[in-house]
Each structure stands twice: as C-alpha cells, then as structure tokens.
Amino acid sequence: MGTTDKADEHESLPGEPRSLWLDTTPETDFDPLDGDRRVDVAVVGGGIAGITTATHLQERGREVAVLEADRVLEAVTGHTTAKLTSKHGLIYREIVSNYDAETARKYAAANEAAIEDVAARVEERDIDCDFRRRSAYTYVADREKRQNVREEVSAARKAGIDAVFVEDPPLPYDVECAVRFDDQAQFHPRKYLLDLVESIPGDGGDVYERTRALYFARQFPKRSYVLATRLAEAPPDGTFYRVGDTSFSVRTQPGPDGEYTFVGGQNHKTGQGGSTAERYRKLARQAREHFDVESIDYRWSTQDYETSDRIPFVGKLGPTTDGVYVATGFGGWGMTGGTAAGMMLADLITGGSNPWADAFDPMRFDARAGGKELLTENANVAKEFLGDWATKPLTSVVTLSPGDATVTREGGSVVGTYRDDDGKEYKVSAVCPHMGCLLEWNDGERSWDCPCHGSRFTYEGEVLDGPANADLSRLDLDD
Ligand SMILES: Cc1cc2nc3c(=O)[nH]c(=O)nc-3n(C[C@H](O)[C@H](O)[C@H](O)COP(=O)(O)OP(=O)(O)OC[C@H]3O[C@@H](n4cnc5c(N)ncnc54)[C@H](O)[C@@H]3O)c2cc1C
Ligand code: FES
C-alpha cells in the first residue's frame, strides 16, 4: 500500500481513499427504528457529541435512544485527526477580545474537563484506544504573527491554562514560534467510542441506524483533508497545528504497519474550494517539504461546522423549543467540544446546573461578537441561492472525459452529469433539495457538494451529509 513516486502524485491521488479509523475497527450494524418507541431522551446523531451525550444521560438513569441516519461514528467523527486538546489554534485571544476572560475561562474549563472525562473513562473501562498524553503546540511560520502567539499565551493564562511560549517546538523544520499546552492527549476515536456505543443497548437504551430525523443547519461547513504518512525519520513528539492563511496539522498514531504521522489541512468552505483532488496533492507536497516521507498510505477528508464566533452551540435550541437541545459547530475541535457538549447537555437535560453552559448558549448572539461575520456568511450563502444562479450562464453541450463532471442546463432543468471511469453517465438534478442552491462537483470524493449549508450527495444522488433530507432526482432513469 502507499505511493512513493514523487512524479506520480501529479497524476494520481496519494494513499488509499479511506480513513485509518474506519480501516482498523469493525463496522456497526444496528437495526433501524421500526414503529414508535417511547424514551426519556432521543439523541439525534451518532457522532462523538451524540454518543457522549447518550452515555452521560444513561449514567444518570435516563432511557435514551440514539437515532443515526447512516452508521454511527462514520461521519465527521470517523474522519477526524483526534487530537484531544483545549488548544484550538489561537482561540483564547479571540474569545477574550470578542467577549471577556470569564468566557475564555469557561471555554477552557469545558475542554480541559472533556480531556479528563475521556482519560477517566479509558482508565475505568480499560479501553484499548491508543490514548496517549501529549503536549499540544500551535505554531506560526511568519514573523508578523509572532505577536499573535504572545497574545495567545497571555489570553490562555487568563483563561486558567498554564500556556508556555516556545521558540523552538520539536519539529524537523523551521517555525517562528509556538504556544504549548501540556497534559493534552490523542486517541483512536472509534476504538474509544465503539466501547461507549456497545454499552448503550439494554437498560432502556437503544441505538438505531439508518434512521433519519428532521433537523436544520445554522452554521457554515468547512472541509479539511488528512494524509496518513510513514516517515523515514523519527516521528515528531507532540501534536502540532500551524495557524495562518491555511492550517497545517501534525500528529502521530500507531497503525497496522507501524507509527503513522498524520498531516492535515487545506481547509475550505464546502462546495466553494475548487478542485478537492488538488487539495490532496498540495497536502502531499507540503508533507514532503516538511518531512522525510517514506510513503502515504491513507487519505480522507470531511467537513465540520463552524459558528461565526468559533464557540460551539451547546444548549437549548431556542426560546420556544422546550425540550430540544443542540450540540454542534465544533469548528474542527469536536473531540473535546463534543465530549464537553455531552457533559453539558446531560446536566441541562436532567435539570442540573452547568458552570460552562452560558458561554456555549446557542442563543448568545448579539451585535457584540460574531454579528459582522454572521452577516458576511449569510451574504455568502445568499449569493449561492436560486435567485443568483438561475441567471448564471450554464452550457448545454458537454463532452466529458471519464472521471469528470459538469453542470449544464437542459430544457428547464439544471443537470449535474458525472461520467464514471467506464464511460457510464449519471445525471441528477444539480439543485440542492434543502434550500435550492446550485451544487458543485467535488472531484476528490466524487460527490455533489452544496456551497450553502454543506449537504453532499453521491453521483447517483443519494444524500451523504445533511441538512438536506431528500436525495437528488435522477434524470437519466425512466420512472
Ligand atoms: C479533517 C478533520 C480533522 C479534525 N481533527 C480534529 C482534532 O484533531 N481534534 C478535534 O478535537 N476535532 C477535530 N476535528 C473535528 C471533529 O472531528 C468534529 O468536530 C467532531 O467529530 C464532530 O462530531 P459530531 O458528533 O458533531 O458530528 P458527526 O461525527 O458528524 O456525527 C453526527 C452524526 O449525525 C448523523 N445525522 C445527521 N443528520 C441526521 C439526522 N437528520 N437524523 C439522524 N442522524 C443524523 C450523521 O450521520 C452523523 O453520524 C476534525 C475534523 C476534520 C474534518
Ligand atoms: S441549500 Fe442548504 S445545504 Fe444546500
């Protein structure tokens, strides 16, 4: 397995197109919900947030049913890099500036508690999930960003974290400087969470797969990419994250063929990033610039959701929605965020108080923080809606090479056509069934992606990611 030829990377994509987490754990196979079921709490979504919430609620004696549209732990949680840390880029400087030190303290406390919650469970249940304590570094490559790192150290200390300014983080390439948090961690997220999932059935609890509930989205999807490489040099000691115009993330992980070094990054808004295949190639080039890469064995990518002030939404959905709670918008940091959300929601749902919850309140928005960016994001989404693209010139004649796709106007329909490697064409409606945006082709994953709220569909039109609840109509099949 693996690609080693440098010239090759310009033509083919590096690595096997599969997440190492999914490749090294068994598949799940829970039955769909058939008929009605009465429980204390229905948890919609079997990712880290849903499974942790269900576990905490069950520990407090509540009957829970997890409803998963597809298979549990395969969506974002199955495609993460799983650094368990309260160090999320340079977020403390942002929170102190947008809000205050008290909000930053709550954010830090929730995420630190999440690391300890995982650590305690791993120990109590003796879960074999490659859990390791690591120091976590965020670094910058440019001299102009040095001051940002100094400000982050100071803001993180205000938030109660013992942050350290570091001139030379332990990496084999030059960087400007870094901030370090100690006693952070990393783990194999599926090995850990599958242990939790297996404990849910029984005691009034249940897990249903292939069971989709109705819901909506209120954040912005961002896609990012990971390569699992094997190095010809010693792997770096720690977890690393470079902030800047594009992020670059590094961590190590034991795998089937020895120690892997994951590199990640190339983030962009879903459906708005140009060629996704080229993102993998760029990431492979970056990996080779920074490390002595022996092989690239796996590649995967997925999208996470971000709120406009980068603090997740955890809590009651709205003032008029009694009994409905949400946990989302982890912005690429849901290993701790999703775990902390489970702890907070269990407190809120069982009527207890939670010391961090007001910092994460989904109803917190006012003009003070996030307002400006929220408007910009809404304008960005609006640009993609029907009114705008209906007048876009779309060609009606195409000759596609195998593996290519395009959007054309055919009669009254806007058609997405994909030609597979054997020359067979698949035609779907290229209008997103969620709220009518024009879909874009994702050449890395061979899917139709929506630039508005991140729904994704296979080339045969089947929903891969919501909020869309309906498949695309197939336009090449007779009814
Ligand atoms: C490349 C990459 C690297 C990352 N690295 C890190 C990292 O190092 N550290 C970190 O902390 N975080 C990281 N993250 C972020 C982290 O992985 C996510 O924040 C986290 O996995 C999100 O978990 P979740 O439970 O919210 O979502 P998911 O894992 O996506 O789970 C949501 C589930 O809900 C289901 N669902 C959706 N709609 C419905 C419906 N209508 N009915 C029923 N079920 C439904 C989906 O099928 C899915 O299984 C990374 C993310 C990416 C993309
Ligand atoms: S319009 Fe909302 S996901 Fe496509």
pTM: 0.84
Dist CA 257 CA 259 (whole Å): 7
Q: Compute, in angstroms, the gap from residue 79 CA to the centroid of ligand 1.
A: 8
Which stretch of DSSP H or E encloses residue 323? none
Q: For residues 12 and 429, which has the higher predicted lDDT (pLDDT)? A: 429
- Beginning with the edge strand found earlier in the chain, give each strand of the sheet holding 413-419 in spatial order: 405-410, 413-419, 425-429
pLDDT of residue 220: 67
Largest CA distance in the chain: 65
In contact, 225 and 301? CB cutoff 8 Å: yes
Q: What are phi and psi of 269, to 5 degrees?
A: -70, 135
CA 159 to chain centre: 25
pLDDT for 369 beyond 50: no
What gap in Å lies between CA 322 and CA 54, rounded to an integer? 19
Q: Is 83 in the pocket of ligand 1 (CB under 6 A)?
A: yes
Mean model confidence pLDDT for the chain: 87
**Does 8 score more than 60 pLDDT?**
no
Is the minimum distance from the CB of 431 to ligand 2 under 6 angstroms? no
Query: Do residues 175 and 141 touch, judged by C-beta distance below 8 A?
Result: yes
Q: What is the pLDDT of residue 395?
A: 58
Give the pLDDT confidence of 417-449 residue by residue, as tens digits. Answer: 999 989 999 999 998 888 778 898 988 889 999
Indicate if ligand 2 lies below 6 Å from the C-beta of 437. Answer: yes
Instruction: Please work out whether the CB of residue 467 comes within 6 Å of at least one atom of ligand 2.
Output: yes
> Which listed ligand is nearest to 435 at the C-alpha?
2
Q: What confidence score (pLDDT) does residue 396 get? A: 54
Looking at residue 194, its amino acid is L
Report which protein residue has its CA nearest ligand 2's atom 2: 453
User: H or E segment at 405?
Assistant: strand 405-410
Tell me: pLDDT of 382 over 70. Answer: no
Q: Are the C-beta atoms of residues 466 and 433 closer than 8 Å to each other?
A: no
Would you list the DSSP string of 410-467?
Answer: ETTEEEEEEE-TTS-EEEEE-B-TTT-PBPEEETTTTEEE-TTT--EEETT--EEESS
Q: Please tell me the least confidently modeled range out of 305-314, 370-379, 448-457.
A: 370-379
Tens-digit pLDDT profile for residues 85-142? 999 999 999 999 999 999 999 999 999 999 999 999 999 999 999 999 999 999 999 9
More confident call, 402 vs 356 = 356
What was the pLDDT predicted at 191?
A: 98
Residues 6+ apart with CB under 8 A from 80: 21, 189, 302, 334, 335
Spatial contact of 447 and 459, defined as CB atoms under 8 Å apart: yes
Establish whether residue 52 lines the binding site of ligand 2, counting it when its CB lies within 6 angstroms of any ligand atom: no
pLDDT, position 246:
79
DSSP assignments along 65-95, one per residue: EEE-SS-TT-SGGGG---EE-S--TTHHHHH
How many C-beta neighbours within 10 Å does residue 47 have? 23
Per-residue pLDDT tens for 206-259?
999 988 776 555 556 788 899 999 999 999 999 999 998 778 999 999 987 789
pLDDT at 174 over 70: yes
pLDDT at 245: 75
Domains of the chain: 7-360 (3.50.50.60), 388-465 (2.102.10.10)
Measured over the CA atoms of residue 45, residue 380, residue 366 and residue 312, the dihedral's sign is positive
Residue range 273-329, pLDDT digits in tens: 677 888 899 999 999 999 999 999 999 988 888 888 899 999 988 777 778 899 988
- Is residue 3 pLDDT above 60, yes or no? no
* Token duo for residue 271: 């459906």
Atom of ligand 1 nearest to the CA of 85: 11
- Pocket lining: 221 vs ligand 1, CB cutoff 6 Å: no
Model confidence band, residue 69 (pLDDT cutoffs 50, 70, 90): confident
Give the whole-number percent of the chain exceeding pLDDT 70.
Answer: 88
Give mean pLDDT, residues 444-467.
87
pLDDT digits 0-9 by tens, 401-415: 888 899 887 777 789
Q: Which residues pair with 250 in a beta bridge?
A: 240, 263
Cis peptide before 467 (omega within 30 of 0): yes
The pLDDT of residue 377 is above 60? no
> Which of 442, 448, 450 should be mutated for ligand 2, with most atoms under 8 A from CB?
450
Tell me if residue 359 falls in helix, strand or coil.
Answer: helix
Q: Evaluate: CB of 450 within 6 angstroms of ligand 2.
A: yes
Instruction: Kindly indicate the confidence band of residue 391, based on its pLDDT and cuts at 50, 70 and 90.
Output: very low
Does position 468 have pLDDT exceeding 80, yes or no? yes
Q: For residue 46, what pLDDT is reported? A: 96
pLDDT on residue 380: 53
Q: Is 54 in the pocket of ligand 1 (CB under 6 A)?
A: no
**Element housing 286 (H / E):** helix 276-290
**Residue 478, exposed/middle/buried by CB under 10 A (0-12, 13-18, 19+)?**
exposed
In terms of pLDDT, which residue wins out, 376 or 462?
462
Does residue 453 have its Cβ closer than 6 Å to ligand 2?
yes
Q: How confident is the model at residue 268 (pLDDT cuts 50, 70, 90)?
A: confident
| Nearest residue by C-alpha to atom 20 in ligand 1 | 334
Give the residue, by CA position, lying nearest to ligand 2 atom 3. 453
What is the sign of the dihedral through the CA atoms of 229, 230, 234 and 239? Answer: positive
| Whether the CB of 71 sits within 6 Å of ligand 1 | no
What the block records as the tokens of 252 is: 């190590």
Q: Which atom of ligand 2 is nearest to the CA of 466?
A: 3
From 30, 335, 462, give the residue whose CB has the most ligand 1 atoms within 8 Å, as the site to mutate. 335
Distance from the alpha carbon of residue 153 to the mean position of ligand 2, in angstroms? 38
- The CB of 279 under 6 Å from ligand 1? The reply is no
Nearest CA to ligand 1 atom 27: 47
pLDDT in tens, 32-59: 999 888 999 999 999 999 999 999 999 9
